[in-house]
Chains A and B, each alone.
Chain A
Amino acid sequence: MSTLKVLDEDFSAWKCVTCGHTLNPSPVELEYLDSKFNVELPACPDCGFVLIPEELALGKMAEVERMLEDK
């Protein structure tokens, strides 16, 4: 499955406090109601902690959630 690029904005201002690294776009697997997606999201290159930005959570992600809920 190819990795979807869903964010254009730069999130490198965010750093992981524990690891001290800035977040990099990384392939991440997301799941809802048994559907899985590979998406590129900002994550800590060390511990893998993923940021779900506000505009994604309320925009595209909410839209896909609603769509899957109606399936």
Chain B
Amino acid sequence: MDQKNLRDWEAKCTQEEPPKCKARCPLHVDGREFCRLLQAGQIDKAWAVLCRTMPFPSITARICDGDCQNDCLRSQRGGGIELAALERFAAENFKRSPMLRALPPKGKNIAIFGAFLPGLAAAWDLGKKGFTVIVFCEDKMQGFGNLPADRISNQVIEKELAQFGKMNVSFAEHGKCDPQTVMAACDRFDAVFVDPLAHNATQLGINEVDTVTLQTSKEFLFASTEVNNSSFISLIALGRKGALSIERKLQNASLTAGRDREAPFETKLFTNISKVQETAPLAVPTEGYSAEQAQEEASRCLLCECMECVNNCAYLEEFKSYPKAYARQIYNNASIVMGTRMANTMINSCMLCGLCEKVCPENFAMQDIVLEARQDLVEKGHMPPSAHEFALRDMDFADSSTCALVKHQPGTTQSKYVFFPGCQLSASDPGAIERTYAHLCSTLDGGTGLMLRCCGAPADWGGQKEIFERKMESLKRDWESLGHPQIIAACPSCIKILQQELPDAEIISLWSALSSEVDQLKEPPETALLSLQDPCSARDNHELMNDVRMLLSGINVTFNEPELSGSLTECCGFGGLLANTNEPLSRKVAERRAEKLDHDGVTYCAMCRDMLAKAGKRCQHILDIIFPDGDADPAGRTAPGYSTRRENRVRLKETLLRETWNEQPEPRNDYESIAVKFTGEARKMMEERRILLSDVQKTLLSVQESKQVLENMETGHMLVQFRPVTVTYWVEFEMSGTNYLVHRVWSHRMRVLG
């Protein structure tokens, strides 16, 4: 990601955009922050928010007419927030006002003609920044004559006027100034601002005024022509605009740069109000809100923010920020030469499921930057070795000769079709594959081959481009070896990858194949209402999602759609190899998803089934319904552990070779003959620590040769270790007859040099 990409990504995320009130306010007062503090009863802090933006806040807060109220998003749910009344409440009730400190004089003298709201605002802003300001006027009270007297007392006015004196501003009450005096002042002062309520530019003989900057045709003279029907706050904003131009002019800075959002503007901030209840504004009493009323009215503020993606994703929520900030963190992570890459875990925890892109009003695709970041880490050799190693080893195992199989249907030499169940279905429920393959062979003409292997998704998700390319080459060779058959794939992730990587292949889902021949299926016994779990990899495959629904309806299975379903479905916690990198988060994701399914789940992804089952959710795979194996309660089937998943794949190949092709499978590895038993605790440890039965068996076998054994003289337990490649495994056991009884297992990656 280069800087330009970063900026493009950042611009897509609108979370940092201002709320509507702030965008609409001519002074850009942060009404959201103000209300947030009032909601918490923090009146002084709320008042400080106004003081940050408003000139002479005790006056401005009382004369604001709430220009923003109609734009307030609340106006669509009962009525806009009574911000003007809340501002008056704060002005009347604060106990401590923040100290206003002007910068020391810069030695630049400014003349302001007119002491109406624009002139006073310009004087306030310039004086605060250290300019020495003289306000020429008939009477320094002249600006307050038209203000609503019921809202402002003379005492308030005098207090604020006194503040001017502490901020490099003095008043010269010389009566009405004529245009000649104004023009002459341009020679004596560094800059001049003319309050348009005292003299508009036309009266000064100036017709050309830049409305963005108030720059007139006379250099260092700033004025305005138009002030008709302006609200009090707009008049103040006009003075502020002139002050900013004068400041820039005297700093030789651009008068125009970065001012496109100075006037009220449309914010890009999106806020979802679909679940917001209507509540009417609290009527404002003549005497203004009481503290309780102010708190109540402020509590109607929606505190507008987007967070659409974060609210719908446990991963984005986990790292306590939002995509704009994440993009910056990812960019910084890649820029680190020496130091810690703090964002690695965040980068490796995304499920790559793409829900954020669907719910984001600007289609921010977190999965795209995360995947690119992973590829970058791998390419530069910075990917943490432990992040995806287990999953990549599992992928290689699924593609090894003990599990992988590529064959024509028995008795045939060509395949019109090939069934591609995917390596996780083999791992989860090998029997379902046997039954499905038998069905396909018996119903399809032209030969149906079988391909047992991995589609390469783990390499893709892990950012391992080179490994993924190699996998795709071997996948293509396997497919070509069967004579380019149509692929009938069961796993949505496989379908996605096959469609991308084998563009010449015709690919249909198993569910499409079955739904088109639904009359050949045995109607299952009536089931209770189920909740359909669409896998996240099916999100963009509308045909697939539709065919699954047709299939379920075709066999009279009734189901409902969870709150997030179809193209808005949620990941089960397996996607993007999350379970490898961040197991606790993966569990949280699975549990969150499980909660969304009102009834027992039904899904067409083996990993969704197993992840939901692990989260305690009863869930069936569709194949449990279509080709049942006699299990009385398939929804309650325990998700197999890592070792069982491997064993299932091996057994599937062995069974199919023996029973379907009448061939002898390869002999098992030596280490598999080691008879091991585990205590319940050891079994749990193996699963949590991702230590496989084969790791334990290899360790015990290696020690038969090395004889390097430790013995605990108190417990009698033996302890052995083995380091096949990058991980050292320790196994603590005792002999139970001829069996090893394993008590504890652990591993580490650090190497003992001696």
User: What residues of B have a CB within 8 angstroms of the CB of A69 in the complex?
Assistant: 344, 384-387
- The reply to whether A31 and B730 form a contact with Cβ atoms under 8 Å apart is no
Binding-face segment, B81-89, B619-627, B703-711: B703-711
- The reply to whether B710 and A65 form a contact with Cβ atoms under 8 Å apart is no
A28 in the interface (beta carbon within 8 A):
yes
B728 in the interface (beta carbon within 8 A):
yes
- Interchain CB contact (< 8 A) of A67 among B340, B709, B713, B715: B340
- Interchain CB contact (< 8 A) of B719 among A29, A32, A51: A51
- The reply to whether A52 and B719 form a contact with Cβ atoms under 8 Å apart is no
**CB contact under 8 A between A49 and B748, given known A17-B718, A28-B754, A67-B340:** no
User: What residues of A have a CB within 8 angstroms of the CB of B707 in the complex?
Assistant: 17-18
A18-70 interface (Cβ within 8 A of B):
18, 22-23, 28-33, 36, 47-52, 54, 57-58, 61-62, 64-67, 69-70
A16 in the interface (beta carbon within 8 A):
yes
B712 in the interface (beta carbon within 8 A):
yes
Interface readout for B735-754 with A: 1 if CB under 8 Å, 0 if not? 00000000010111111111
User: What residues of A have a CB within 8 angstroms of the CB of B748 in the complex?
Assistant: 52, 57, 61-62, 65
- The reply to whether A57 and B730 form a contact with Cβ atoms under 8 Å apart is yes
Closest Cβ–Cβ distance, residue B383 to chain A (whole Å): 9
Interface readout for B376-394 with A: 1 if CB under 8 Å, 0 if not? 0000000011110000000
Interface size class for chain A?
A: 20 to 34
User: What residues of A have a CB within 8 angstroms of the CB of B521 in the complex?
Assistant: none
User: What residues of A have a CB within 8 angstroms of the CB of B749 in the complex?
Assistant: 32, 65
- Interchain CB contact (< 8 A) of A30 among B710, B718, B753: B753
B341 in the interface (beta carbon within 8 A):
yes
- Interchain CB contact (< 8 A) of A70 among B384, B713, B719, B728: B384
User: What residues of B have a CB within 8 angstroms of the CB of A16 in the complex?
Assistant: 708-710
- Interchain CB contact (< 8 A) of A54 among B387, B730, B754: B730
* A13, A22, A51, A69 pick with most chain B CB within 10 angstroms: A69
Residue in chain A with minimal CB distance to B732: A54
B714 in the interface (beta carbon within 8 A):
yes
Residue in chain B with minimal CB distance to A57: B748
* B341, B689, B712, B752 pick with most chain A CB within 10 angstroms: B752
**CB contact under 8 A between A15 and B384, given known A57-B746, A70-B340:** no
The answer for the CA separation of A69 and B747 in the assembled complex, in Å, is 16
Chain B positions near chain A (C-beta within 8 angstroms): 339-342, 344, 384-387, 689, 707-715, 718-719, 721, 728, 730, 744, 746-754
Q: Which 7 A-B pairs have the closest CB atoms?
A: A69-B384, A57-B748, A29-B753, A17-B709, A32-B750, A54-B746, A13-B714
Q: Given A30-B753, A47-B708, A57-B730, output 16 extra A-B contacts at Cβ < 8 Å.
A: A15-B713, A16-B708, A17-B710, A17-B718, A18-B708, A29-B753, A29-B754, A33-B385, A36-B753, A51-B719, A62-B748, A65-B748, A65-B749, A67-B340, A71-B339, A71-B340
